[in-house]
């Protein structure tokens, strides 16, 4: 252990600990902006300064490791004044539109300005704002765009950027897609895209990992809170909501529920209080996906088809295939994602049950993912209304962050409400469907059902497919199945999450170093629990905690197999007839674009 002192108090810390970690662990405040616990250290904002005895200048706490006898001071007048002067300069360049900013009240820069009481020295700087208005909404030409809403998923307002570079590091470190980088020089330096193009002209997959780590409101999801609020307030249509697997565990973390507490009932109660008429579970359509995708896999194994077959529920991964690996399009499962499956059945099967038409329903999907917004806007995901016009299966997609904003605006605290239940008939789900939210979960759910459908004599016991669990980026397992002739086959399965890992994995497949039959792909490291639309968190263990909640929910559940879901049986009996049947193909399957 190393002996140090901070502001006169003595501590022992492990060798190689940074001054920042040592200070935080012992309750001292050091300001940071470019630092993020899940990203490599950059040390470029110069706010985390500390005075150290013997050093002629303040040192950055995030890059400096402790040494024996180190005497650290966090709040000397020199340190405070230097921080204040850095913040003043940053404030001078920052637009003064906090009140309408998506990150208002959840902005690290705003907190710093308040904490250090930095008043504006000059009237709000409007130079950049006036020069580049929010006018490039329908961009058809690549152009210089400090404000960029060229995708349906992400909004970028670079006027608000504080140049911390976290988004640059997230796009590189997690995804290795490298859309964002510092461009220009000196006073004109800013974060931009290759050739400074709007994001839809780049290979951006719309995963939102950049927005997840942005400390301000410079990169956010394309906000749909206000439109949903208007629908909820006016109540002119039938308001339906569906919620992804990863939402309930994110809310449990946000509202500090016990690790083994199932927050689903509180989440449903909160949504009901917001004013939704019907609340359904995307986990139901995850079960439906297992029926469709499992059948598709077995059909390919029996009748031939492209291998490996890739899962298709992650829209970031679909974007990556369409933009960067078009040769793999036929390897993708033709199944729509659970979001789009429930969208299609709500506006057909459920609308029919209610005796209403597609356009009478407004369906809001709550997702941990920004790319889901773009997925919902794909022109093929529509159905005809009684007036012959096309209406989207999903009208709005809110991220978990946006749901929290909506709850704050409508003063709804789900933790205080009595548990409620999803509506029927699209509300029952198995815990296998819930596992979709975590890397390896789709595989685990698929194996549970496929082994039983094909009649494997010794199916892998529930919860025993350990090889596909955990935060490892690339995982593999061998799964025994049977062909329709009763022949035993070993399906080579892999699970990959995170864009950087996906690229490594595809390189190996291309070089024939590895061969697989069925591969689960998720663009965000760890899966949807770590989606780009999840609440921002400074907890380095947040993904592990959410993952553990998912597995605890599975252990506690009584229904753990997709094909045993009574509402799944019911929808096939009453409506779809059979997996991969004619109506399933029409409503639940899709194609991919060049």
- Is 380 annotated in the active site? yes
- Is 296 annotated in the active site? yes
Of these partners, ligand HC1, ligand SF4, none, which one is at the site of residue 206 (CB under 5 to 8 Å by kind)? ligand SF4
Minimum CB separation of residue 246 from ligand HC1 in Å reads 3
Of these partners, ligand HC1, ligand SF4, none, which one is at the site of residue 30 (CB under 5 to 8 Å by kind)? none
Of these partners, ligand SF4, ligand HC1, none, which one is at the site of residue 179 (CB under 5 to 8 Å by kind)? ligand SF4
In Å, what is the CA distance from 397 to each residue of 130, 228, 243, 370? 31, 9, 10, 8
- Which of 129, 372, 475, 546 is the catalytic position? 372
- Is 333 annotated in the active site? yes
As a whole number of angstroms, the distance between CA 516 and CA 266 comes to: 41
As a whole number of angstroms, the distance between CA 395 and CA 328 comes to: 30
Of these partners, ligand HC1, ligand SF4, none, which one is at the site of residue 180 (CB under 5 to 8 Å by kind)? ligand SF4
As a whole number of angstroms, the distance between CA 150 and CA 139 comes to: 6
Minimum CB separation of residue 27 from ligand HC1 in Å reads 35
Of these partners, ligand SF4, ligand HC1, none, which one is at the site of residue 267 (CB under 5 to 8 Å by kind)? none
- Is 372 annotated in the active site? yes
Say whether residue 175 binds ligand SF4 (CB under 6 A).
yes
By CB under 6 A, how many residues form the interface with ligand SF4?
A: 14
- Is 214 annotated in the active site? no
Q: What kind and span of H or E run contains 23?
A: helix 19-25
Minimum CB separation of residue 468 from ligand HC1 in Å reads 14
Say whether residue 442 binds ligand SF4 (CB under 6 A).
no
Within 10 angstroms of residue 582's Cβ, the number of other Cβ atoms is: 10
For residues 504-516, one letter each, b for 16 or more C-beta atoms within 10 angstroms of the residue's C-beta and e for the rest, the string is ebbeebeeeeeeb
In Å, what is the CA distance from 45 to each residue of 61, 63, 166? 11, 12, 11
Helices (H), ranges, 151-219: 166-173, 209-213
- Which of 206, 253, 254, 375 is the catalytic position? 375
Of these partners, ligand HC1, ligand SF4, none, which one is at the site of residue 339 (CB under 5 to 8 Å by kind)? ligand HC1
Q: Are 467 and 495 in contact (CB under 8 A)?
A: no
Q: What is the DSSP letter of 223?
A: -
Q: Which of 26, 97, 19 is nearest to 59 (CA)?
A: 19
Output 174 or 280, the one with its CB closest to ligand SF4.
Answer: 174
* Contact range with ligand SF4 by CB under 6 A, out of 116-124, 198-206, 423-431, 506-514: 198-206
Phi-psi region of 486 (alpha: psi -120 to 50; beta: other; left: phi over 0): left
Q: Give residues in contact with ligand HC1 (CB under 6 A).
A: 244-246, 282, 286, 313-314, 337-339, 367-369, 372, 436-437, 527-528, 531
- Which of 153, 242, 285, 333 is the catalytic position? 333
- Which of 221, 254, 292, 296 is the catalytic position? 296
Chain center to CA of 399: 8
Say whether residue 397 binds ligand SF4 (CB under 6 A).
no
Of these partners, ligand HC1, ligand SF4, none, which one is at the site of residue 338 (CB under 5 to 8 Å by kind)? ligand HC1
> Can you tell me which of 20, 170, 250, 297 binds ligand SF4, judged by CB under 6 A?
170
> CB nearest ligand HC1: which residue?
528
Minimum CB separation of residue 522 from ligand HC1 in Å reads 6
Output 149 or 375, the one with its CB closest to ligand HC1.
Answer: 375
- Which of 313, 314, 369, 524 is the catalytic position? 313
Output 437 or 499, the one with its CB closest to ligand SF4.
Answer: 499
As a whole number of angstroms, the distance between CA 499 and CA 332 comes to: 16
Q: x/- string (CB under 6 A) for ligand SF4, residues 245-264?
A: --------------------
Cβ-count burial of 128 within 10 angstroms (0-12 exposed, 13-18 middle, 19+ buried)? middle
Minimum CB separation of residue 36 from ligand SF4 in Å reads 13
Of these partners, ligand SF4, ligand HC1, none, which one is at the site of residue 207 (CB under 5 to 8 Å by kind)? ligand SF4
Q: Are 102 and 49 in contact (CB under 8 A)?
A: no
Q: x/- string (CB under 6 A) for ligand SF4, residues 202-241?
A: --xxxxxxx-------------------------------
Say whether residue 180 binds ligand SF4 (CB under 6 A).
yes
Q: What kind and span of H or E run contains 77?
A: helix 77-92
As a whole number of angstroms, the distance between CA 239 and CA 262 comes to: 25
* Sign of the four-CA dihedral 306, 307, 308, 309: positive
Kindly write down the DSSP assignment for every residue of 133-160, as one continuous string. -S--TT--S----SEE--SSSEEEEGGG
- Beta strand extents in 316-473 (DSSP E only): 361-367, 382-384, 390-392, 396-399
State residue 433 phi and psi, 5-degree precision. -60, -40
Say whether residue 177 binds ligand SF4 (CB under 6 A).
yes
- Which of 81, 92, 189, 380 is the catalytic position? 380
As a whole number of angstroms, the distance between CA 498 and CA 500 comes to: 6
- Is 335 annotated in the active site? no
Instruction: Name the residues that contact ligand SF4, by CB under 6 A.
Output: 154, 170-171, 175, 177, 179-180, 204-210
Active-site annotation, residues: 293, 296, 313, 333, 372, 375, 380, 528
């Amino acid at each position: 252990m190393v002996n140090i002192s901070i502001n006169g108090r003595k501590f022992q810390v492990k060798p190689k600990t940074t001054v920042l970690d040592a200070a935080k662990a012992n309750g001292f405040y050091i300001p940071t902006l470019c630092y993020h616990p899940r990203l490599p250290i950059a040390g470029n904002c110069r706010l985390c300064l500390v005075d150290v005895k013997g050093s002629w200048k303040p040192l950055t706490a995030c890059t400096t490791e402790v040494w024996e006898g180190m005497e650290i001071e966090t709040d000397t007048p020199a340190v405070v004044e230097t921080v204040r002067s850095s913040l003043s300069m940053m404030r001078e360049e920052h637009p003064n539109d906090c009140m309408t900013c998506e990150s208002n009240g959840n902005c690290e820069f705003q907190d710093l300005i308040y904490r250090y009481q930095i008043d504006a020295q000059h009237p709000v700087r409007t130079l950049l704002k006036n020069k580049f208005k929010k006018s490039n909404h329908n961009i058809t030409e690549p152009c210089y765009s400090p404000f960029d809403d060229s995708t349906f998923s992400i909004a970028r307002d670079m006027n608000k950027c504080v140049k911390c570079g976290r988004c640059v590091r997230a796009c590189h470190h997690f995804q290795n897609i490298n859309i964002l980088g510092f461009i220009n020089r000196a006073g004109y330096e800013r974060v931009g895209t290759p050739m400074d193009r709007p994001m839809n002209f780049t290979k951006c997959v719309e995963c939102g990992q950049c927005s997840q780590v942005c400390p301000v409101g410079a990169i956010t999801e394309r906000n749909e809170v206000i439109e949903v609020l208007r629908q909820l307030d006016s109540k002119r249509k039938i308001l339906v909501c569906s919620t992804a697997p990863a939402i309930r565990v994110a809310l449990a973390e946000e509202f500090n529920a016990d690790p083994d507490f199932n927050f689903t009932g509180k989440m449903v109660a909160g949504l009901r209080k917001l004013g939704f008429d019907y609340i359904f579970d995307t986990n139901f359509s995850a079960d439906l996906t297992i029926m469709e995708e499992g059948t598709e896999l077995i059909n390919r194994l029996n009748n031939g088809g492209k291998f490996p077959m890739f899962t298709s529920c992650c829209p970031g991964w679909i974007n990556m295939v369409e933009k960067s690996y078009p040769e793999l399009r036929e390897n993708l499962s033709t199944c729509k994602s659970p979001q789009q499956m429930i969208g299609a059945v709500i506006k057909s099967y459920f609308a029919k049950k209610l005796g209403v038409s597609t356009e009478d329903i407004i369906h809001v999907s709550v997702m941990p993912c920004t790319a889901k917004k773009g997925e919902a806007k794909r022109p093929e995901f529509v159905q005809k209304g009684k007036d012959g016009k096309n209406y989207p299966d999903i009208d709005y997609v809110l991220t978990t962050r946006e749901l929290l904003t909506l709850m704050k605006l409508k003063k709804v605290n789900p933790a205080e409400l009595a548990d409620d239940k999803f509506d029927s008939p699209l509300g029952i789900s198995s815990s296998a469907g819930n596992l979709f939210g975590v890397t390896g979960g789709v595989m685990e759910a698929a194996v549970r059902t496929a082994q039983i459908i094909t009649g494997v004599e010794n199916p892998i016991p529930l919860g025993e497919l350990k090889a596909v669990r955990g935060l490892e980026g690339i995982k593999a397992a061998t799964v025994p199945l049977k062909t329709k002739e009763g022949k035993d086959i070993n399906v080579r399965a892999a699970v990959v999450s995170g864009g950087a890992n996906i690229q490594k994995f595809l390189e190996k497949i291309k070089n024939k170093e590895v061969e697989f039959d069925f591969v689960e792909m998720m663009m965000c490291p760890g899966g949807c629990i770590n989606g780009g639309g999840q609440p921002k968190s400074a907890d380095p263990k947040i993904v592990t905690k959410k993952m553990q909640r998912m597995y605890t929910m599975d252990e506690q559940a009584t229904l753990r197999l997709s094909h045993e879901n009574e509402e799944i049986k019911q929808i096939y009996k009453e409506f779809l007839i059979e997996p991969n049947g004619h109506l399933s193909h029409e409503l639940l399957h899709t194609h991919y674009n060049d």
